[in-house]
Amino acid sequence: MNYLKTAMLLAALTALLVVFGGIFGGRHGAVIALALAGVMNFVMYWWSDSIVLRMYGAKEAAEADAPALFASVRGLALSAGLPVPRVYIMDQEAPNAFATGRNPAHAAVAVTTGIMNLLTNDELRGVLSHELAHVRNRDILIATVAATIAGAISYLSHMAYYAAIFRGGRDDDDRGSNPIVAIVMMIVAPLAAAVIQMAISRSREYGADAGGAAISGSPLSLANALRKLDFYNRRMPMEEVSPATAHLFIVAPLSGASMLRLFSTHPPIEERIKRLEAMALAGR
């Protein structure tokens, strides 16, 4: 199902690019846009994970850099029946984490320095288990492609904006402003949000919480981690986070930002914690 969603997203991006090309370049522009879409689709499928990791300055870590982190990832991957993913570290004070990659064999887990400093070892294992559950559920391809497509839509809106201004600047004053500017500005932000909302279901977070709790064997460790992460991210949001990629993280990294509600793909932390605590009680 996730591969079908990915194909649908890439097809939607292709159509959008052709429409933009036709608006600004006629038939010739549409043909160029179609060729560009083919290149972008290829790049997004094979390298969308690298694009997202580079966006956040994530650096691949060696085991000598963080032996405890590597030991946890290796042990949990074994418990989950998964290949050991690559491990990346983001130099960010805000505590957060995400997983990416096109399939379990090409997965990566990225954590911030803040989360490594904040959480206990058991709590960090809970977070890593949640991310590995995303890998096992094959959520990561659709999530990463959706993020890069939303970013591409945003980039297209800027291109359209400046192209319209440039075109309007050559018009006579009595012709007024180009109406394309207003139309693009009205539809692009909701469109980017809609792409993510259609592709990313909030239920995937509940599924990853449950799967992560099963992998680590400690629902309460993940519940405690979520409580801490929510508290600190509300007071110390991550720097330079695009709403288009916010859904990748284990907790919303944009708390307090005006665009958060529009791009909200995370269920309420309180409900996630409640479900994990219920799992812990049921397992006693």
Token pair, residue 85, equals 């993913």
Within a domain: residue 262?
Answer: yes
The count of domains in the chain is: 1
Q: 131, 205, 240, 270: which one is catalytic?
A: 131
Read off the tokens for 43.
């790049």
pLDDT tens across the length of the chain (284 residues): 556 766 776 777 677 777 777 766 678 877 887 887 788 778 777 888 898 999 999 999 999 989 999 999 999 999 999 999 999 999 999 999 999 998 999 999 999 999 999 999 999 999 999 999 999 988 888 777 777 776 666 666 666 666 666 655 555 444 444 555 556 555 665 566 566 656 666 788 999 999 999 999 999 999 999 999 999 988 888 877 777 778 889 998 875 544 445 556 688 899 999 999 999 998 76
The residues pairing with 98 across neighbouring beta strands, listed in sequence order, are 110, 249
| The CA-based dihedral angle spanning residues 124, 59, 5, 208, taken in that order and rounded to the nearest 10 degrees | 0
- Please say if 239 is a catalytic residue: no
CATH number of the structural domain spanning residue 70:
3.30.2010.10
| 81 half-sphere exposure, CB direction, 13 A CA radius | 4
- State the residue range of the domain holding 222: 54-140+201-282
Q: How far is CA 60 from CA 84, 108, 134, 194, in A?
A: 14, 9, 20, 32
Q: Would residue 114 count as lying in a domain?
A: yes
